[in-house]
Amino acid sequence: SGTLTVGDLAEKLNKDSSEIIKKLMFLGVMATKNEDLEKETIELIAEDYGVEVEEEVFVDELGIETQVEEDDPDQLEERPPVVTIMGHVDHGKTTLLDAIRHTKVTEGEAGGITQHIGAYQVTENDKKLTFLDTPGHAAFTTMRARGAQVTDITVLVVAADDGVMPQTKEAINHAKAAEVPIIVAVNKMDKESANPDRVMQELTEFELVPEAWGGDTIFVNVSALNGEGIDELLEMLLLVAEVEELKANPNKRARGTVVEAELDKGRGPVATLLVQEGTMNVGDPIVVGNMHGKIRAMVNDIGRRVKSAGPSTPVEITGLNGVPQAGDQFVTFEDEKKARQFGEARASRAREEERSQTSKVSIDDLFSQI
């Protein structure tokens, strides 16, 4: 599936082919100048020169118009929207996430949802929606800082009895910077002191103007406490998703982003991954950030073992040789050996970076002592 030769890549990166060939050897890939390179290989080399992994950036910065493994439009299929909930402290983000999950989970599944997973899916009118349960604004700050864009739509939660607060503004800024559409959920409508008009009024200052007032922002009045408005909110999210035409090719190797990861006493490193394109299968060799391995087991958001996961699906995997970080990208491979080589190369580079940073710090420390 390679669309660039070693020579092409060298030219794009403005380097000698021999230098690229040497780097490839270090990664365990023996290639001649005219050999086609795999997408992952191209990305790893590019990354080595400080060019980011993300496809658009990759394409832009290298000016490659031969888009690496561009999807045939026929292969693109509709995928569920990935939704993040943001808002000021105590305005009800967690309660809303819980309410959505609990109202939408069927009887038989209820047992599974007691366990915590950083992302979950619900179904509304036969369509799925994926919610990311990231503490605070992590989905935008940490993940975006690392080049990962995972959110398709943001729900901005504003408590009807409190109005726009500092973190409401922050959330708006993050969503705007990421060019993610915003739906406003005016929460705590069950309260006596709820004043949704004031919330609308305050938000017009941020160009979030309701349709009733001539704008194009969707406002939904909800109560995370009693469930009012939750169906409407989900319907509106699906509407926005439809307008955005969210699609992905499920018929290729998977790539996506780490939502969260930890070391489990019994199971070893456990990572919740959000598949963004392609399909991931148990047994797939994988590189996740600076870690690698082979997917030993996959568990979905309701605690069931699954064998595969397609676009916009969150799953928890085991089988990695270490704990990756939230926001890290992952790619699955066909070849286990290659995954290991790439994983090890990335890990050793990370160690080197860390070493050089440590030595920098100690030199700075030294000077500050004088």
Answer yes or no whether residue 167 interacts with Mg ion by CB under 5 A: no
80's contact among ligand GTP, Mg ion, none, with CB below 5 to 8 A by partner kind, is none
Task: Tell me which of 12, 23, 91, 253 binds ligand GTP, using CB under 6 A.
Answer: 91
94 touches ligand GTP by CB under 6 A: yes
Q: Which of 121, 223, 257, 313 binds ligand GTP (CB under 6 A)?
A: 223
Q: Among residues 44 and 194, whose Cβ is nearest to ligand GTP?
A: 194
Identify what 91 binds: Mg ion, ligand GTP, none; CB under 5 to 8 Å per kind: ligand GTP
Size of interface with ligand GTP, in residues (CB under 6 A): 15
Residue nearest to Mg ion (CB): 94
* Residue number with CB closer to ligand GTP (79 or 188): 188
Retrieve residue 61's tokens.
Answer: 């910065």
Please choose which of ligand GTP, Mg ion, none residue 251 contacts, taking the beta carbon within 5 to 8 angstroms, the exact cut-off set by kind. none
| Residues numbered 182-211 forming contacts with ligand GTP, rule: CB under 6 A | 187-188, 190-191
Hey, what amino acid is at 166? P
Binding Mg ion by CB under 5 A: which of 94, 142, 167, 281?
A: 94
Tokens of 338: 């290659």
**Can you say whether residue 245 is alpha, beta or left, with left for phi > 0 and alpha for psi between -120 and 50 degrees?**
left
Instruction: Decide: is 95 part of the binding site for ligand GTP (CB under 6 A).
Output: yes
Residue 117 vs 224, nearer CB to ligand GTP: 224
Q: Is 89 marked as binding a ligand? A: yes
Q: Is 154 in the site for ligand GTP (CB under 6 A)?
A: no
- CB-wise, 121 or 187, nearer to ligand GTP? 187
**How many residues are present in the chain?**
370
Minimum distance, C-beta of residue 268 to ligand GTP, in the bound complex (Å)? 29
103 scored as a contact of ligand GTP (CB under 6 A): no
Q: Which is nearer to ligand GTP, 166 or 266 (CB)?
A: 166
Quick one: 237 or 288, whose CB is closer to ligand GTP? 237
Site residues (CB under 6 A) for ligand GTP?
A: 87, 89-95, 187-188, 190-191, 223-225
Annotated binding-site members: 87-94, 133-137, 187-190
Annotated binding-site members for GTP: 87-94, 133-137, 187-190
